[in-house]
Amino acid sequence: MAKNLIFFMGFFIFCLTEVWAKHQYMRYKDPKQPLNVRISDLLGRMTLEEKIGQMVQIDRTVASKKVMKKYLIGSVLSGGGSVPSKEASPKVWIDMVNEFQKGSLSTRLGIPMIYGIDAVHGHNNVYKATIFPHNVGLGATRDPNLAKRIGAATALEVRATGISYVFAPCIAVCRDPRWGRCFESYSEDPKVVQEMTEIISGLQGEIPSNSRKGVPYVAGREKVAACAKHYVGDGGTTKGMNENNTLASRHGLLSIHMPGYYNSIIKGVSTVMISYSSWNGKKMHENRDLITGFLKNTLRFRGFVISDWQGIDRITSPPHANYTYSIIAGITAGIDMIMVPFNYTEFIDGLTYLVKTNVIPISRIDDAVKRILRVKFVMGLFENPLADSSFVNELGKKEHRELAREAVRKSLVLLKNGESADKPILPLPKKVPKILVAGSHANNLGFQCGGWTIEWQGLGGNNLTSGTTILSAIKDTVDPKTKVVFKENPDMEFVKSNKFSYAIVVVGEYPYAETFGDSLNLTIPEPGPSTITNVCGAVKCVVIVISGRPVVLQPYISSIDALVAAWLPGTEGKGISDVLFGDYGFSGKLSRTWFKTVDQLPMNVGDAHYDPLFPFGFGLTTNPIKAN
């Protein structure tokens, strides 16, 4: 009897202890506690396995509720074009993100995961999202407030799909247009790039004036965590080769490529992504001096540092040749979260072994995890881990499309307008008998959006997403009695025999992203040049160039009556017709030097050999036509 009583008493105490343990006060779960108290409390409860799990980001294609729970994964991403299903609705996205999140919440400590996506010109992976002009066009607007409003609209559209983290903005300073990512850069001028970091205040919210410098800030459920990328010098590589080597003195690196990071950190940017490129032969992913020494210690950045896609693999040549070395080099350099889209177990096992054998100190792991937790707490993920479905109607909504249309108008740069100022061609009259619209890019929504649109490399055609082509924008703008004839690549005889009042020719680059866009010749592909020659040789013509950068135009300039750089305008083609026909005036200014020949490259404003076709800051203006 006494034995039974002792057993039952012991069992009762054990049960009480278990109940108490389950309901004990966990300070990290209390939003009223100071940020650092929550971080320390949670970190103190974590095992090595839980800490390393937080440092891992995997692609959605290998993620599941089970994987999130088993491996304690800290983050999931969508790579370029990685979607739950073709033309997925916001609800489909939300259900997928929530499913992963439920796996994270079912772990012992319930640390929510963070989902990241490349929203580099709007929510560009997502069907029916508003696609804004790429950064090269936004730089031409010289309008930081516009960038901020675009950031706020993009944040809402990203939240519409249940996602809370974007790999944007790219604050590269592209110093050579041969680089395939030049369209992701606002300008060759670091000052313009600094000004346009105002997009971070739109994405994350305006940082309170009393905030400590370097501490990440996300204002609430309508905002997302942002990412300044790619640290540092990605736009300065030799001949613009992607992922290559930037040769520069320390002063050159800090004065040209670093200023955008100063502004981003002051604005409370949550994360910084490391560049694939090297500086003076040393891979940025293993550059401890610049990541830990300068970014973390000198600039006092308190968010987390993330690798690029398989970024540590590429520390070695060939990639993944010595993965143990890659892990040691990347982690000790100061990278906190590693984008290991697929081989995550290899990374987890490798890092665990290196910590247990004291090759990598636990203090380095704790620094990484503190930073990741800081961002998650600041974002409010612990209080609101699941997606808010009340934002679904934000995707592609009218107000955002109007904002994109405004951005297109302001980004257009007028390079030529008639032979002399007193005989301008633009604005064009809306009411004439018959006009010709020609060119490969006039009726192609995918071409006018460029890379990083629905698919990583972009797409051609008009059925990729919702939007307005330049052709349909022209048709909607001219007088109903004006006949609009579209012929993609007419011969000169056709043009001459049809008695057109004037022609609008829309040509340019085909979509590309990253290394696939690297180009040593920067020519417009055929049939673009032929179309210009055939049309402009026979009738008064306006040429609109759709491109991610300056391209070779000098051979055609004399035959062109009016010339417009429209960059990669995105889904809202009416922004172009708004200005062509005088409802608004041209106001854009070149954020990049327009070269005469590629032999001059690299050539940037301030260089001794500066002899451009159109200089940095150039842009003719027109006045809007007053309505009668």
Is 271 in the same domain as 357?
A: yes
Same domain, 415 and 301: no
Exposed e or buried b per residue across 600-624, where buried means at least 16 C-beta atoms within 10 angstroms of its C-beta: ebbbbeeeeeeebbbebebbbebee
What is the helix, strand, coil percentage profile of the chain, to 5? 40, 15, 45
Element (H, E) at 76: strand 75-78
Please indicate, yes or no, if residue 200 is contained in any of the structural domains. yes
Residues 198 and 325 in one domain: yes
Segment 564-571 mean pLDDT: 98
Q: Are 305 and 261 in contact (CB under 8 A)?
A: no
What's the whole-number mean pLDDT along residues 348-354? Answer: 98
| One domain, residues 412 and 342 | no
Is 456 domain-assigned? yes
Which token pair is 518?
């690297």
Could you list the residue range(s) of the whole structural domain that residue 211 is in?
116-126+161-363
- Burial, 357: exposed, middle or buried (Cβ in 10 Å; 0-12, 13-18, 19+)? exposed
The total number of structural domains that make up the chain: 2
Residues 481 and 592 in one domain: yes
Is the same domain home to 262 and 182?
A: yes
Residue 216 domain-assigned (yes or no)? yes
**CATH code of 280's domain:** 3.20.20.300
CATH number, domain containing residue 533: 3.40.50.1700
Please check whether residue 570 is in contact with residue 132, taking contact to mean a CB–CB distance below 8 angstroms.
Answer: yes
pLDDT tens track for 502-557: 999 999 999 999 999 999 999 999 999 999 999 999 999 999 999 999 999 999 99
Q: Are residues 427 and 338 in the same domain?
A: no
Question: What does the pLDDT read at residue 618?
Answer: 98
CA distance 136 to 182: 7
Rounded to 5°, the CA angle 482-486-490 comes to 125
pLDDT for 477 equals 98
Mean per-residue pLDDT, 463-469? 98
Whether 17 has a pLDDT exceeding 60, the answer reads no
**Which candidate, 118, 141, 123, places its Cα nearest to that of 575?**
141
What's the confidence (pLDDT) of residue 626?
75
pLDDT digits 0-9 by tens, 124-170? 999 999 999 999 999 999 999 999 999 999 999 999 999 999 999 99
**Virtual CA dihedral for 58, 64, 70, 75, nearest 10 degrees?**
30
Catalytic positions, please?
A: 308, 514
Buried b (16+ CB within 10 A) or exposed e, 144-158: bebbbbbbbbbbbbb
**Phi, psi (degrees; rounded to nearest 5) at 97:** -60, -45
Residue 16: what pLDDT?
Answer: 44
pLDDT value for 572:
98
Of 393, 385, 306, which Cα lies nearest the Cα of 54? Answer: 306
Q: Note the pLDDT of residue 421.
A: 80
The pLDDT score that the predictor gives to residue 510 is: 98
Of the candidates 363, 385, 411, which is a domain's last residue? 363
Residue 342 DSSP label: S
Q: Does the N-terminal peptide bond of residue 230 adopt cis geometry, omega within 30 degrees of 0?
A: yes
DSSP 8-state secondary structure symbol assigned to residue 389? G
Assess if residue 620 is contained within a domain.
Answer: no
What is the reported pLDDT for 1?
A: 54
Q: Does 278 lie in the same domain as 218?
A: yes
Based on the fold, state whether residues 460 and 594 are members of the same structural domain. Answer: yes
Within 144-274, where are the H helices?
144-159, 190-196, 199-204, 250-252, 259-266
What is residue 354's three-state secondary structure?
Answer: helix
Task: Give the pLDDT score at 420.
Answer: 83
Residues 232-251, mean pLDDT to the nearest whole number: 98
Q: Tell me the three state secondary structure of residue 248.
A: coil
Of 440, 541, 528, residue with least CA distance to 486: 440
Nearest CA to 173 among 260, 280, 245? 260
Do 412 and 321 fall into the same domain?
no
Do 231 and 317 belong together in one domain?
A: yes
Residue type, 265: I
**Is 373 within the bounds of a domain?**
no
**Beta carbons of 575 and 406 less than 8 angstroms apart:** yes
Distance CA(312)–CA(320), nearest Å, equals: 8
Q: How far apart are CA 468 and CA 359, in angstroms?
A: 56
254 and 355 housed in the same domain: yes
Q: What pLDDT does residue 13 have?
A: 54
Q: What is the predicted pLDDT for the residue at 422? A: 86
Q: What is this structure's pTM?
A: 0.96
pLDDT at 628: 40
| Per-residue pLDDT tens over the stretch 181-226 | 999 999 999 999 999 999 999 999 999 998 999 999 999 999 999 9
CA–chain centroid gap for 90, Å, is 20
Nearest to 563 by CA among 574, 551, 575: 551
The answer to whether residue 449 is domain-embedded is yes
Average pLDDT over residues 72-89: 96
Specify the pLDDT at position 352: 98
pLDDT value at position 543?
98
* Mean pLDDT for the stretch of residues 482-490: 98
Note whether residue 57 is domain-resident.
no
Vertex 104: Cα angle to 369 and 340 (nearest 5): 60
Q: What is the mean pLDDT of residues 239-251?
A: 98
In a domain, 19, yes or no: no
**What residue ranges in 418-480 does DSSP mark as E strands?**
434-438
Q: Which of 311, 338, 363 is the last residue of a domain?
A: 363
401-441 confidence digits (pLDDT tens): 999 999 999 999 999 999 988 899 999 999 999 999 999 99
pLDDT at 12 over 80: no
Distance from C-alpha of 87 to C-alpha of 191, rounded to nearest angstrom: 39
pLDDT on residue 65: 98
